[in-house]
Structure 1
């Protein structure tokens, strides 16, 4: 009867995959924030574009400048979303790899560790893009108040 060792192996793999699953939850929350910010940026750009024809020539230059800044913010958020999504995908591959390794009785620890490091680097890149977008948004808001 071999079901006992197989069940304990699966239980061990599940225990090892709990931390990456919690990481997926955190990355999902970050993605939600990023997508909300992107939606607000797109909404603001649409409002400015709709009123661009109604604005006087001096106001049109300011509107175009704001559209340029919103475009930069959209690119930063898009990059952050892409990086965080890649991070989440890599974490999913790590979890799947752990299970495949357990079922096939193959040592996948080196590959899993390497993929996890890449996942963390992608997450760091996404968070840096998010931070840069926030700095740009704050700088734009301060310039608008002056």
Structure 2
């Protein structure tokens, strides 16, 4: 999405930028453009979601057909992921309690970031890890054989 220019209202009129304690506005054309971009992205997301539903249905049909599929075990695993178990992330080292983690694999685009486990079981990125946290994560990975 494109950036929207923001303005604040002064006695002299509109001034580009935001100011605390002042009325901030955007131009109608910018708002309309960003709204159209959002709507187009939502349409693409809906279409992709519908396609995923159709493909999932086809996989179920193939798996349930007489004679089944030679890939039944893999299809079952893909269609029925274990509840509450997020996908493993390469290079992610979990703390002892499993509530926090740090990415220590340089090949991972999130290298050096901390994560916290959300109540739904998924990981949420936090902030850049300190050098001390990186050292502790590497040591913990070796001790617990997480890599």
TM-score normalised by length of structure 2: 0.30
**Bigger radius of gyration among the two:** 2
TM-score normalised by length of structure 1: 0.30
Higher RCO, 1 or 2 (CA under 8 Å, sep at least 6)? Answer: 1
Q: Specify which structure has the higher proportion of strand.
A: 2
